[in-house]
A and B are shown apart, each in its own frame.
Chain A
């Protein structure tokens, strides 16, 4: 590329036709896109580009950070005291809720015929600060100040104190980009807490909304239903709160209900988020194809095994349903 840059300075370069130069750059761009799409050597290149981009991103995020810092400084004593009281109250509530948790978990393990108490699902967590945030109808992304140096990997689950936030999409050495669950390109497999109905929640492109476009008109959904991650799809573990259903439109002409939900995580106000690592052997860990094959080999009594196999068959059918309709729905607008 140096010959092109250098050529610009020479007086004779006035005669250099812009056409060939454009063709060269267009070819470079297209080659880059081709390989970026196929996830090859270019991902290594991107890793380093991500590192070089980080300072710029820090500068861009600086005014916001400065603003937050200033507003934190200027917080009054009363406000801080109120916040403290609020936090103490929440801590008490949580500890009461957690009191029975250990017993319940043990009980659950026994019911699942696993015998011994299970190891905790979350093996490690890491708090990261939000460097900058990009929220518009086309893109809902966050940039975090932790990267591969903190062992963060691609496709890692990101949560805040209230619910699921998203997953990492691009990890640099010191930074990671997070795609939020409200991004129009993001979809998260969910399940209704009330009746276990599975579906897929797609980002609506504005930070207060998720859509569930693949539920039939007659499905049992009510406003106020809580959605949790279903653990399908191999990215998110099961059971993390995602959203609350806010509105349902059932048009008898359409096959599918139009369901809207509000994310529980406070997507646009978070200053700090949490990245979590899971124990892959835990039953609630995200199911990958490899694990799905090994799953039935849990040593059980013959009777239990048969019962489980029946249940698994039913579950598998149910599980296969949402993605199937997800593929069909856009093609068939009626």
Chain B
């Protein structure tokens, strides 16, 4: 097993990201919507960690801008937050990738909290402060389903 990235397929990254996007946008009842994990962010995190060259900051930025357009937030808000945590994921991928799945979940939790913190800060600075504590719940549920994401997406490509 070499550390060089495998022959990852870029279309696969886009397809799974699109699936994540649809899951993120799917209308849900209010009580489910509160705890909905940020699927798109998890998918992007996964690819940035496992194959940083197929995933990476560009896709993170693109996905974030898409989220901005589709969710009606300020243009660039999710773009900045997502490119920030994909940057961290790419930077630290050698560290996190080899860790047991539980520890990876913890890394995912930290990443998701940072992501939400960036959004929260931008919301505040741009004059739309939303201090509802439920906004942080997404990070918890997202970290909780990280093993599932790894399990599912791990099947889509050859083991490294």
Contacts and interface: CB of A to CB of B under 8 A. Distances in A.
A13 interface: yes
A21 to B, nearest CB: 5
Contact of A28 (B33, B54, B66, B76): B76
- The B contact surface, by secondary structure, is helix
B37 to A, nearest CB: 13
Contact of B74 (A33, A52, A63, A169): A33
Given A8-B53, A37-B126, A50-B69, A136 B76 contact: no
A53 B72 CA distance: 10
Interface string B47-75: 00000111011101100111001111011
A31 interface: yes
Interface stretch (B38-46, B97-105, B127-135, B145-153): B127-135
Interface centre among B25, B65, B72, B91 (most CB of A within 10 A): B72
Contacts of A19: 87, 91
A333 interface: no
A29 B53 contact: no
A200 to B, nearest CB: 17
A57 B53 contact: no
Given A133-B27, A184-B130, A138 B90 contact: no
Contacts of B15: none
Contacts of A30: 76, 80
Interface in A137-155: 137-139, 141
Contacts of B71: 134, 139
A14 B90 CA distance: 11
A28 B78 CA distance: 12
Interface of B: 4-5, 21-22, 25-27, 29-30, 33-34, 52-54, 56-58, 60-61, 64-66, 69-72, 74-77, 79-80, 83-84, 87, 90-91, 122, 126, 128, 130, 132, 134-135
Given A60-B27, A132-B25, 10 more contacts: A1-B58, A4-B58, A18-B87, A18-B90, A22-B87, A52-B69, A134-B33, A135-B29, A136-B34, A141-B72
